[in-house]
Structure 1
Amino acid sequence: MQPRGGPLLPPVFDAFCDFEPLPLNCEAWPVSEPHSGGAVQEFHSSLATSNSSDWNWPTRPVVFVSDPHADAESFLRSLVAAGVICRTGAGLADFTLTGFGHLAHVVVGGDCLDKGPSNLDMLDTLSALFATGAKVTLLAGNHDLRLMLAVRALATPRNPLTEHLFVRMGRKALPLLREVWHRFGSDQRLTRLPSEAKCRERICPSESWFDEFPKAAAPHLAPEAINKELRRLREKGSQFTQNVADAGLTMREVFGAALLCHELFLQPTGPYHWFFQRMDVILQTGSVLFVHAGLDDSMCELLVQDGPAAVNTRFRRDAKRDLFAFYFGPIANLVRTKYRASDKVLTDHGVRLLHQAGLKLVVQGHVNNHNGQRLLAKRGLLHLEADVTLDRASRAREGLSGIGAGATLIYPSGDIIGLSSDYPKAKHFHPHCVGLQAQMPQPRAQQKEFA
């Protein structure tokens, strides 16, 4: 079906860069297709429950872009595709807000860091977006928090609960460490660092860690989760030395880069101190909750009883306390869960609380997809998976070509549009129009309405 109005993409989109073309036509969200939803019976059951009471929609359009993973160009292309910015040059900070961009609420769904091609470029571009005066909410992702926890762990006395956190980041964090060392490191800093062997010893868990960790973690984690952590560390630990060499680094440079990250990100005078300071863990607007990964019952209770501000306040408070309890507790579960047996549990009780409070849809990142966004029910709660594999490193490993682009747009009308360069049409969902082909909304026309 041809959408109403003009083309989805503004003409400036291809003015300064080659790109994977985004869709020009719109279709009803194909929820019966596995790549866009699947588990149709559960989806319709959850949708019927949600539709049994009124939906409340945001008062301004929301543009959700998640998991850019250090690919600033894909992030900018996504904002252009959504109509938020206009590129004015080839540089990563050469853009201005459109009329729609001035009115929209941009939600960055987490995982700005790791993978590549450039973490620092991504952070500088995000800073430039803040500088435009756009309304932006930055959510925490598991990759973002892992950096914070790992560098803090290196700066505190070793103990069995935290000494593995740095290696646990694995190879995906090494591009950031390499960038930080190359931009901010120096021969003078290198001479002040311990020997290669001492740095390796400080970075890697001790020989006794595999025996000590299960005992120390027993009060905090179920046996299955403890065993999973041990398996991960055996895998990542055995590969880490080679990963460091493949990244062109020494253990001294890795250790030096970690100390620099502590200065850059965690010290008030650091140029990237703003990154964690501006970070929330959830955003609720009407019936929609934005979060990196998902929920458990305890977070549902806190959210319903005390509101989203209380959840974000607890996030900031707990992040400054016990590292292990925070990372494996219910707050960090918001950025880590995939509703696995080892994750905090979301049951009918939590979902019922959310529905009674009018919260009906979770919009998340964290689970990357190859054919655009997915809309499905998880644990009886509607979820929209909006990680559309933007970064070039992931795309190359997973057989996707080019630089990704995509965004999820949610309008005050209740229309939701999923855009992705990896799916031929824009996907449209409205909770009261599932399966209807008529009167398909046109995103650019709606943007003009708000401009």
Structure 2
Amino acid sequence: MYKMASMTALTVIPNVSDQPYHSAILARLPSEWAPWPDDPTSVNHDEALSTFVKRAQKKSFTWPKKPVVFLSDAHADAEAFEASLIAAGVIERDGPHPCEYTLTKFGKKADIVVGGDCLDKGPSNLTLLRSLAHLYRLNADVTLLAGNHDLRLLMGLLSLERETDAGSQHLFVRMGKKVIPLFKEVFDQYLADTQWDRDIPSEAACRQALFPGNAWFANFPFYAAGFITAEGIQREIGKMTKKTQSFEAHCSHAGLSLQQIYAAAMKCRSLFLKKSGEFSWFFRRMRLVKKRGSFLLLHAGLDDHMAEILANHGVKYANRAFKKNLMSQNLFSFYYGSLANTFRTKYRKADLPLTPRGAYVARQAGIQVLVHGHINQHFGQRVTLKNGLIHIEADITLDAHSRKKEGLDGHGIGVTLIDKKRGVIGLSCDYPQAKVFKPSRKGKREGAQ
């Protein structure tokens, strides 16, 4: 193992200052680094890492021109979000409260990528959004990528204003219990001390507006046939059966009636969808994918069709297509198509497939490595190989809600750094060393024992 302080060319944490606000964060971070392990918890771990080494040694493999800081799946935990930015050396606090921070010298030159899933679960949806807005105000180079939880909110809110059909009338309740903390925050902060119930429909009318009709379960399989895989249709029906049965009870457990949920949803429409709304920037700034060197950064993964789009038209086209479809009239075709599969897939049978052919097409387009969140890990980042395409799984379970449920302490701290000088660095409070991957041109990883 190697002490952080002894590192020169492979400095892991770029000059994190030892301010009192940072001491608790530093105490939870690893003090040593080690070459990226052949992690036995990974899928095809030995083949994945050896493939990464071989491909990274080729002249065609390119590293980002600027250091990339990838942080994903904060899930409404502002404390974890800011602690991870501090751990990466991007920000330093100038006060004890959220949003009281400035950019470091490294933060001013870093390419910061927020990999999606900023929302849901809790405990601080609105504070996290305000912290992200503060990062923009500091003129940081920030790219916000679309996550499935973020887009589920948008689809749910849009479904309330449109004439719904079997393809979209379930999209509000499909958000499920994980969105309820957001509605609770919105109700408490914006509505609780107002005449919120004026012009709000009755409880029964709100139920009808929010829930899919009974005929949806019979009609959806026919509506979706030929568009979603058979496994995907069955999964959707099963998921919605559970959610329609439990959604109202989860609302009640949070102290919210369906009228209050409806009122909070209407307020969310104002906050997120109106130009004057406090969070109108959120979906407007969102992108689907970002490419830096041979690395494609995104929330979840690729399928064959998306690989063809990127190969034939490029990243700018894919992001323009995402934007145009984001507010399209047909919510179903957007949410269940290849664009949305990019922030939803876990490579299950229910998902649109990535075959060896699709992986080959992506590599021909100069995409050697996918860096993504969406699949939460408990032992830091891991490298996997899916049909010949290298994936760095960088969701290290940041939010306190998920961590408590999964037996982990407190909020998470961690980030993935990609830099042509340092290589790829996986930093997590849940792994005893910083994982460092930097192949040499001589066929041996730098720092390997």
- Determine if contact 1:189/1:256 at 8 Å carries over to the other structure: yes
1:95 aligned onto 2:104: no
User: 1: CA distance between counterparts of 2:267 and 2:250?
Assistant: 20
User: 1: CA distance between counterparts of 2:98 and 2:215?
Assistant: 47
Structure 1 gaps of 5+ residues are 441-451
| Structure 2 CA distance for partners of 1:13 and 1:332, relative to 1, 3 Å | farther
- Determine if contact 1:84/1:101 at 8 Å carries over to the other structure: yes
User: 1: CA distance between counterparts of 2:70 and 2:59?
Assistant: 25
- Determine if contact 2:48/2:383 at 8 Å carries over to the other structure: no
Residue in structure 2 matched with residue 438 of structure 1 by the alignment: 447
User: 1: CA distance between counterparts of 2:265 and 2:12?
Assistant: 46
Percentage of matched positions with identical amino acids: 42
User: 1: CA distance between counterparts of 2:440 and 2:203?
Assistant: 62
Matches within 5 A, 1:130-141: 130-141=136-147
1:278 aligned onto 2:285: yes
Corresponding residue to 1:171 among 169, 177, 181: 177
Residue in structure 1 matched with residue 2 of structure 2 by the alignment: 2
Matches within 5 A, 1:45-60: 45=51, 47-48=53-54, 51-60=57-66
1:29 aligned onto 2:39: no
Corresponding residue to 2:195 among 175, 179, 188: 188
Deviation of 1:305 (Å): 1.6
User: 1: CA distance between counterparts of 2:278 and 2:28?
Assistant: 35
Residue in structure 1 matched with residue 75 of structure 2 by the alignment: 69
Greater mean deviation of Cα atoms: 4-13 or 301-310:
4-13
Corresponding residue to 2:268 among 261, 265, 275: 261
Deviation of 1:267 (Å): 1.2
User: 1: CA distance between counterparts of 2:432 and 2:374?
Assistant: 22
Q: Which amino acid aligns with 2:179?
A: A
Q: Deviations over 1:127-186 (max 9, x none)?
A: 001111110000000000000000100111231111111111110000001111112225
Q: Deviations over 1:53-99 (max 9, x none)?
A: 52111111110000000011101100110100111111111111111
Aligned residue for 1:224, secondary structure, equals helix
Residue in structure 2 matched with residue 248 of structure 1 by the alignment: 255
1:122 aligned onto 2:128: yes
Aligned-residue RMSD, C-alpha: 2.0
Aligned residue for 2:415, secondary structure, equals strand
- Determine if contact 2:379/2:430 at 8 Å carries over to the other structure: yes
1:104 aligned onto 2:110: yes
Deviation of 1:354 (Å): 2.1
Deviation of 1:224 (Å): 1.7
User: 2: CA distance between counterparts of 1:45 and 1:284?
Assistant: 20
- Determine if contact 1:63/1:105 at 8 Å carries over to the other structure: yes
- Determine if contact 1:12/1:86 at 8 Å carries over to the other structure: no
- Determine if contact 1:31/1:376 at 8 Å carries over to the other structure: no
User: 1: CA distance between counterparts of 2:49 and 2:64?
Assistant: 23
Q: Which amino acid aligns with 1:407?
A: V
- Determine if contact 1:16/1:89 at 8 Å carries over to the other structure: no
Residue in structure 2 matched with residue 197 of structure 1 by the alignment: 204
1:320 aligned onto 2:320: no
Q: Which amino acid aligns with 2:282?
A: F
Corresponding residue to 2:345 among 311, 327, 337: 337
Aligned residue for 1:161, secondary structure, equals coil
Deviation of 1:42 (Å): 5.0
Q: Which amino acid aligns with 1:125?
A: S
Residue in structure 2 matched with residue 146 of structure 1 by the alignment: 152
Q: TM-score, normalised on structure 1?
A: 0.93
User: 2: CA distance between counterparts of 1:425 and 1:13?
Assistant: 22
1:420 aligned onto 2:428: yes
Greater mean deviation of Cα atoms: 40-49 or 189-198:
40-49
| Structure 2 CA distance for partners of 1:254 and 1:206, relative to 1, 3 Å | same
User: 1: CA distance between counterparts of 2:57 and 2:299?
Assistant: 24
Deviation of 1:244 (Å): 0.6
Corresponding residue to 1:358 among 362, 366, 386: 366
Residue in structure 1 matched with residue 391 of structure 2 by the alignment: 383
- Determine if contact 1:149/1:165 at 8 Å carries over to the other structure: yes
User: 2: CA distance between counterparts of 1:237 and 1:47?
Assistant: 48
User: 2: CA distance between counterparts of 1:226 and 1:156?
Assistant: 23
Residue in structure 2 matched with residue 39 of structure 1 by the alignment: 45
| Structure 2 CA distance for partners of 1:438 and 1:291, relative to 1, 3 Å | same
Greater mean deviation of Cα atoms: 237-246 or 138-147:
237-246
Deviation of 1:45 (Å): 4.3
Q: TM-score, normalised on structure 2?
A: 0.93
> After TM superposition, what 4+ stretches of structure 1 lie above 6 angstroms from structure 2?
none
| Structure 2 CA distance for partners of 1:285 and 1:437, relative to 1, 3 Å | closer
Residue in structure 1 matched with residue 413 of structure 2 by the alignment: 405
| Structure 2 CA distance for partners of 1:52 and 1:411, relative to 1, 3 Å | closer
Q: Which amino acid aligns with 1:232?
A: K
Aligned residue for 1:317, secondary structure, equals helix
| Structure 2 CA distance for partners of 1:45 and 1:101, relative to 1, 3 Å | closer
Q: Which amino acid aligns with 1:113?
A: L
Deviation of 1:18 (Å): 3.8
- Determine if contact 2:76/2:123 at 8 Å carries over to the other structure: yes
Residue in structure 1 matched with residue 318 of structure 2 by the alignment: 311
- Determine if contact 2:53/2:445 at 8 Å carries over to the other structure: no
1:81 aligned onto 2:87: yes
| Structure 2 CA distance for partners of 1:253 and 1:204, relative to 1, 3 Å | same
Aligned residue for 1:189, secondary structure, equals coil
Q: Deviations over 1:90-121 (max 9, x none)?
A: 11111111111111111000000001111000
User: 2: CA distance between counterparts of 1:192 and 1:13?
Assistant: 51
- Between Structure 1 and Structure 2, how many residues are aligned? 439
Aligned residue for 1:387, secondary structure, equals coil
Q: Which amino acid aligns with 2:34?
A: E
Deviation of 1:278 (Å): 0.5
Greater mean deviation of Cα atoms: 430-439 or 339-348:
430-439
User: 2: CA distance between counterparts of 1:42 and 1:28?
Assistant: 15
| Structure 2 CA distance for partners of 1:435 and 1:50, relative to 1, 3 Å | closer
- Determine if contact 2:75/2:398 at 8 Å carries over to the other structure: yes
